[in-house]
Chains A and B, each alone.
Chain A
Amino acid sequence: MESKLSPLLAMVPALMVGILFCMILAFLLDIESRELLVAIWTGAWGGANEAATTLSKATPLLLTGLAVSVAYQAGLLNIGGEGQLTLGALAAATFALFAAGLPWPLLMPLTVLAGALVGALWALPAIWLRSSRGIHEVVSTLLLNYVAIYLADYLVRGPLGDGTAMARTAEIPSASVWPTWWNLGTLGVTAAPLFAVLLSCGFHLWRYQTCWGYEATACGSNPLAARSAGIPVGRWQTRNFLVSGALAGLAGALEVVAVHHRFYAAFSPGYGFDGITVAFLVNSVPGWAWLSSLLLASLRSADKWLQISLGISPNTIIVLQAVLLISVACQAGFRLSHVFGRSNLLARLYRYSNQIER
């Protein structure tokens, strides 16, 4: 981490490649590229309702992005966000239904906590496999994703369902629902986005201003060196990974209490994987994750409108996301100055930002 601005500068080339991709796509589909970009904007922010939807989509994305970045801080890759989110959501819905008698000051936080806890529990096998058997957490979290989805599917169609043929739980009691806070359009926005942003600020401070955050970062940077300085690497990796799972579970829980008010089969439209892009677009800096989560939320919100107005498949957004992630990944070994040369403004900005003290 070299300076405050470097995460932003990591995003710029990726955005440029993304826009280039949109232009190529527009050319292939025989529409004006300007039309395409305007359609994306309209779909995401064109009206009050669209803005509300985008903001509410940004919440789980921010949290899964935080999850990935917290794990990556200690050097681990948590790809299990899908499973952790799904089970966290199911846990939250189930808890709310079972503990329906509790008053709202207890029920609301406990519901959300239940989701976070289950998310952490689902991350536990993966980190355990890594520390005891050396199995890479990517393989185990991916397998656990599938297990989670089938498990949730079975539970929601069976014992935890609402008894109808629809694969969903009953609606959670109103005491556990997060109320609308800002009446934007007809949909409104809950406190969830703000909560997520505050959480990300908290993680940012912890990571960069405390000695514990420093220790965890050292573990991710060079576990051998951290160990030789007496830092318990295994413990930090486990802690960060469990918190990562908890964050993904929290994302699921908030989706239930703030947006859908119940759990249903195939709950996550891929938020767990989006978290990877959210995190890497801003170089895993928690304080900037809100920006990339807004970007990805915009893309996700826009996909329906793109389909309606321009006939573009929603899968296109997934491709765009992948392109963004690839561009960000390529930058790690690829200095801007190679492409643009010394005279270019962007390269100069990049070098300048590296000299700004934090």
Chain B
Amino acid sequence: MRLANKVALITGGTSGIGEATAVLFAKEGASVAVSGRNEKRGHAVIERILQAGGKAIFIRTDVRRAAECRRAVDETVAAFGKLDILFNNAGVFYPHSTLDCSEEEWDLQMDINLKSTFLMSKCALPGMIQRGSGVIINNSSGWGIVGGDSAVAYCASKGGVVLLTKAMAIDHGRQGIRVNCICPGDVDTPMLPEDARLRGLKWSDYLAGCANRPLGRIGTADEIAKAVLFLASDDSSFMTGAALVVDGGGTAD
């Protein structure tokens, strides 16, 4: 088991990539704190993990609020004794250009996708530094590397995540902390059909567009979770400040 005796905290852990990562981490021996806003889904995720013999708790969290981030870290440490791995995964997406993005939608995406990474990491780091080791993985996007249409706030937030990752890697490398991010392409999660709906596109047309990449398909949440596992485990012990693109070749050209 690659994460035996490790403790992980995963934001946005109640569905999609966060859920798949929580389940995989638990299978690899980690105790997992699942953070999210939806209690029903959160409890369903930890039930899945517990029934498979793993260890997990759910912490209801609005990651836009500093006090709730503080509580999420404190409750994780209270339950499992420490925090080794933080996966800043929570994210939202509204497909809008500069012209049709409201100020509220701008703020929401910048706060959940980017600011939460600052707030959570700020709470998690001191304990990691004290123990001399820790791993932080931020969920960016292929659209943190290249731009996408009708996605201004999303692209801005994810580009911000890539550079925040590098800046944090520089600041905390000597304290034994590794900080990396993943840049997934389109993945089979609830975010995808929601995007199709908001863009007013037929699901089959939308899906065909998403699959138009070298590997000819969208990714699965499990495939992204495996990339997160790699970055969270000692297999990536010489990696920090990196952006790992997992997108079926979508940004290759």
Do A and B interact? Answer: no
Measured CB to CB, the residues of B under 8 A from A are none
